[in-house]
């Protein structure tokens, strides 16, 4: 396990312990979540409900899912999507309710339900999600991308490939991420879809495509990678991709990009620059 992953696991454990010690009742947590939407207090209350992940929280979410109030239905989806966190408690009944919420008339509810199904990672959801991949509302298509990501089934991958060409930039970006990093599959179709995104007008989408291709050793991505390294600094994607390739010819481009970048960038992404330079020098960072 990398140091970064180990630190992330430690932080998750510490947060779980803190949430588990929360003495508020389910009713009190519900009140906080509904009266301070999108605030830190709201998401802390939702996380506590998720962390508990018992039949009491399931019954609450089921009741909310049938509410005439869209905010309450959205909250139901948010709670159900990560019940039990890593334990994924009550998987079958939570997925059943989320599938029903996919048929909601409100796009925000459908979006939240689809994202929740992505967290549940139950393959039963795939055909239901695919029916909505062409939805007119980009918020729904965004949710569908999250719902399909992490599945290796051919139908889910095909759906992500289609959505990686969506007209909405966020949908394209996350679909590209899903293809590039959320599956270890390596097929001609996935590589072709990622290669198409190397010319995307959005820098983050291009970056996600680069990482997906570099991690698969696709040398056709090298011209695009050189172009990114020779241009403005948009993020760490090109550096991570260079580290995957470990090509000595890339080192001067990385060093030049580092010298051209401002102090804030070189400080924030210093470890990425060092890792890329070391990989392209044959050293372990």
Residue 83 sits in a domain of what CATH number? 1.25.10.10
User: 98, 128, 148: which is the final residue of a domain?
Assistant: 148
Backbone phi, psi, residue 66, to 5°: -105, 10
pLDDT of amino acid 2: 34
pLDDT of residue 8: 42
What is the average pLDDT across 140-167? 98
Is 175 inside any structural domain? no
Check whether residue 43 and residue 97 sit in a common domain. Answer: yes
- Any domain includes 15: no
**Residue 48: inside a domain, yes or no?**
yes
200 with 111, same domain? no
Tell me the mean pLDDT in the region 99-108. 98
Range of the domain at 135: 26-148
Q: Residue 203: its pLDDT value, please?
A: 97
In sequence order, the 6+-apart residues with CB closer than 8 A to the CB of 209 are 176, 180, 194, 195, 196, 197, 198, 200, 221
35 and 138, same domain (yes or no): yes
- Same domain flag for 35 and 142: yes
Residue 154 lies in a domain: no
Asked if residue 157 belongs to a domain, the reply is no
Query: What average pLDDT does range 235-251 have in this prediction?
Result: 97
Do 113 and 208 belong together in one domain?
A: no
* Whether residue 234 is found in the same domain as residue 274: yes
Task: Examine the domain organization and report whether 143 and 184 are in the same domain.
Answer: no
Name residues whose C-beta falls within 8 Å of residue 133's C-beta, 6 or more positions apart in sequence.
141, 144, 148, 159, 162, 163
């Amino acid at each position: 396990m990398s140091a970064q992953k180990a630190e992330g696991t430690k932080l998750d454990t510490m947060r779980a312990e803190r949430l588990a010690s929360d003495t508020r009742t389910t009713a009190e947590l519900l009140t906080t979540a509904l009266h301070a939407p999108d605030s830190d207090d709201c998401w802390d209350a939702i996380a506590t409900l998720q962390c508990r992940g018992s039949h009491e929280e399931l019954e609450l979410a089921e009741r909310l899912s049938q509410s005439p109030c869209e905010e309450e239905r959205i909250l139901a989806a948010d709670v159900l999507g990560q019940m039990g966190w890593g334990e994924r408690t009550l998987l079958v009944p939570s997925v059943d309710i989320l599938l029903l919420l996919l048929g909601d008339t409100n796009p925000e509810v459908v979006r939240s339900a689809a994202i929740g199904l992505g967290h549940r990672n139950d393959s039963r959801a795939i055909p239901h999600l695919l029916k909505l991949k062409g939805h007119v509302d980009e918020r729904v298509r965004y949710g569908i991308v999250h719902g399909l990501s992490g599945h290796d089934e051919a139908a889910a991958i095909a759906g992500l490939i289609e959505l990686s060409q969506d007209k909405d930039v966020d949908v394209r970006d996350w679909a590209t991420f899903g293809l590039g990093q959320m599956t270890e599959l390596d097929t001609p179709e996935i590589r072709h879809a990622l290669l198409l995104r190397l010319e995307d007008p959005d820098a983050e989408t291009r970056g996600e495509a680069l990482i997906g291709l570099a991690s698969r050793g696709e040398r056709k991505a090298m011209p695009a990678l050189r172009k990114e390294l020779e241009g403005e600094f948009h993020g760490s994607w090109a550096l991570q991709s260079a580290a995957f390739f470990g090509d000595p010819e890339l080192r001067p481009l990385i060093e030049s990009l580092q010298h051209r970048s401002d102090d804030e960038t070189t400080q924030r992404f210093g470890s990425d620059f060092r890792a890329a330079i070391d990989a392209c020098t044959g050293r372990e960072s």
